[in-house]
Structure 1
């Protein structure tokens, strides 16, 4: 069951048919793992669109999509490899020539980290890691990366390779707009964009060692259920045919990297090994002050973390010191 959920899109017969058709239109050309992952994870209606475009002019279509993925550096930025990388994309203003629709609401300026919001996150989660239930030290961790905070600025949104524009190539406008609205006006510093995690659990999540799948939220928005999934290192080639069907192996209760190093997580109350498919429940008693994590943000994380894993990028990265970082924001 766990493996079915993490590979859900890849079992869709219509999606398989469309990707096989795209492969034929490309004459079996090999593409980057990033483009391959985005096409397999993207919305069906967008896949139909790119099939129609490729039927009209395959070479232009594939060159365009590869360039957008490469130049946007979307997965590198999502992985927070460096804040300067996101800033460089944000500052390169180029008037768009694409017909892609940008999200509808003008974004607010980037903001610095908020200690107050971090404390509210810890209060909501009772100072405990929501996954392992371990107590302090715990950290208020962003779902949508703080490093991407400038990408919603008016100037950045005019950049032809802005990651938001790239998301709009593969997911429908309604879905992308829901992601965008979750961070554009409030910014990244909201309780809805934070999870309380133990330090090692934070590192594993930021490196896409695991992802959280949003499952359900009750009508009162007081109880949220997510599923935990380990994302193993996948040894895919540097170029791959579009018809190759992805598979994220079920990792059960551990995760190994390319060197064979293992990591595990345990529920400290029961000594139970955290396993793929486990449901994690988060609750709040104060909807106004202490809202639960946003479903749209978790949805975006669920997609992009799997894209990182499929493209072979879920490996340890060095994140340089950020002048906006504050030790008080994380540890408590």
Structure 2
């Protein structure tokens, strides 16, 4: 992925190559309307792979802004956020009251007991980010994407924006017996986080980026913490394709609501955390490829904003 190759300490989305492609397809003197696209289109154009972006531009350039198919992009977002049937406007926006009611859930009971025990052993029964003694298992690829229906809907749609080799890498730890589409439980799809971080992880408020040079490491893996700014926009809102994405600055912190007992004041965007394992064969680290996958999809969903119009959304009338 080109987002990982150049700068290891910050996130780069609007590269000169992307902007050049945008200009060729969307820029037309005196026609500002041609530069406007739905926010979900703008978001995926920032995070998709260059090879697929180039193909998109060549296909759509003759028609400019007309007849853009946003249905498939929205379907990817709905599948990722698990809102295909349940249309929740604030899936990535917990209210103060919601964030004050985070409790230990019973979802860990749904995980194979052997996997659960192995993850806790690997992570020393502590949060891998804060070393808090109270920790909870968190999946990297959401569980609902391991279902057969999602396999056909979600994973197939990714091929339009990421290379076949990339999507295969993302799927390999979960579907190692392809073409059989039954997902397998693997310790590599889990990470231990504190209760508060688990909620922020699920809401997409923070994400971990695996170190570009640690893909083949077995005993340790560096991951970079990034806090993401909430976007008060809707997927269908129009936006100029040349708009800058929200800045994800190094060194910024977030004010955690209602969890004064958990000290995260020193956890800043850009910080590197090292994940380790005492036994790489029996207790493998979280999958580099799955962490990359979650990183990309979380950024994509956060840039796209909220699902449906509501009070406060900057929707065009």
Task: Give the structure 2 partner of residue 167 of structure 1.
Answer: 158
Equivalent residue in structure 2 for 1:42, among 26, 48, 64? 48
Instruction: Kindly indicate whether residue 234 of structure 2 is the aligned counterpart of residue 245 of structure 1.
Output: no
Q: Which runs of 5+ in 1 are unaligned?
A: 87-111, 315-332
> 1:180 & 1:306 partners in 2: Cα distance?
19
* Residue 146 (str. 1) matches residue 180 (str. 2): no
Alpha-carbon deviations, 1:263-303, whole Å to 9, x = none? 889986xx761000110101112122210011110111111
- Residues 133 and 156 (structure 1), Cα distance of their counterparts in 2 relative to 1, 3 Å cut: closer
Matched residues in 2 for 1:213 and 1:46: separation? 22
1:22 aligns with 2:15: no
User: Does 2:231 match 1:234?
Assistant: yes
Q: Partner residue of 2:203?
A: 207
Q: 2:118 aligns with which of 113, 117, 120?
A: 120
Q: Offset of 1:8 from its aligned partner?
A: 0.8
Aligned-partner Cα distance in 2 for 1:263–1:298: 28
TM-score, structure 2 as length reference: 0.74
Q: Which of 59, 68, 82 pairs up with 1:63?
A: 68
Q: CA deviation at 1:191?
A: 0.6
TM-score by length of 1: 0.71
Say if 2:35 and 2:65, in contact at 8 Å, map to a contact too: no
> Residue 77 of structure 1: CA displacement?
3.2
Contact 1:129 1:196 in 2 (8 A): yes
Structure 1 residue 21, shift from structure 2 partner: 2.3
Q: Deviations over 1:127-153 (max 9, x none)?
A: 0001111002x1111000012111xx3
CA RMSD of aligned residues (A): 3.1
Does the CA-based 8 Å contact 2:119-2:192 persist in structure 1? Answer: yes
User: How many correspondences in the alignment?
Assistant: 268
Which residue number corresponds to residue 130 of structure 1? 128
The answer on whether the counterparts of 2:37 and 2:65 sit within 8 Å (CA) in structure 1 is: no
Q: Could you tell me which of 292, 295, 305 is aligned with 2:288?
A: 295
Aligned CA distance change for structure 1 residues 266 and 23 (closer, same or farther; 3 Å) = farther
Q: Which residue of the partner structure matches residue 195 of structure 1?
A: 191
Higher helix share: 1
SS at match of 2:155: helix
